[in-house]
Amino acid sequence: MAANPALRDYLKTRRSVGSGFLGDPGPSSEELREILTIGTRVPDHGKFAPWRLVIFEGEGRNRAGEALAAIQKSRRPDLDEASLNIERRQFLPAPLTIGVIFSPRPNTKAPELEQLLSAGNVCFNLSHAAFALGFAASWTNRWYGWDPEAQTALGARGGERFVGFIHIGTPTAVIEDRERPALEDVVTRF
């Protein structure tokens, strides 16, 4: 494979753009299909795709937010409107969010940890795909990525769990890079 300076530059400068800074336009349906195709092209020991994807777009974003607000309200009936609105807006303003569900299969050849890593690869590859098509993206889990009731409300089935929500759209602000770990701190030679 020939050196690819554009890809190299991208990998050296890529940084997340938070969902609050993602606006329209989002990917078209053809672009979404391409993002999904690239996103699911990941290493997968066992080759049984131990993951599923849930698309939140259009009105679905509001329905998902309402479901999260309803869960919080049922737990804390005194919750104020401002707090409920934060939940209602969990999938806004980003035009598209792809939820990645880890769906492990019992298998001795590819233990669960390896399957989980494959699901993590889907999350990051979806993000790369979004940037490759000219959009920006970020990966969050937030409370509903850990809460069993919320996970079920958003589409996880028994034995499954979300491992990431990849928010995708057009950046509405320039995001400063964050500090990166010094290689000396994280690399050793054997």
Ligand X SMILES: Cc1cc2nc3c(=O)[nH]c(=O)nc-3n(C[C@H](O)[C@H](O)[C@H](O)COP(=O)(O)O)c2cc1C
- Site residues (CB under 6 A) for ligand X? 15-16, 138-142, 164, 178
Quote the crossing angle between the two packed helices 29-39 and 112-132, to the nearest 10°. Answer: 140
Listing DSSP states for 95-114 in one string gives: SEEEEEEE-----SSS-HHH
Q: Which is nearer to ligand X, 10 or 33 (CB)?
A: 10
Taking the complex as a whole, the smallest distance from the CB of residue 139 to ligand X amounts, in Å, to: 5
Taking the complex as a whole, the smallest distance from the CB of residue 137 to ligand X amounts, in Å, to: 9
Taking the complex as a whole, the smallest distance from the CB of residue 26 to ligand X amounts, in Å, to: 19
Taking the complex as a whole, the smallest distance from the CB of residue 20 to ligand X amounts, in Å, to: 9
Q: Which is nearer to ligand X, 77 or 148 (CB)?
A: 148
- The rounded distance, in Å, linking the Cα atoms of 27 and 32 is 6
Q: Which is nearer to ligand X, 12 or 109 (CB)?
A: 12
Q: Which helix (H) or strand (E) holds 136?
A: strand 136-140
Task: Give me 52's structure tokens.
Answer: 């599923």
For tokens 């989002």, name the residue. Answer: 26
Q: How many residues does the chain have?
A: 190
Q: Which is nearer to ligand X, 110 or 130 (CB)?
A: 130
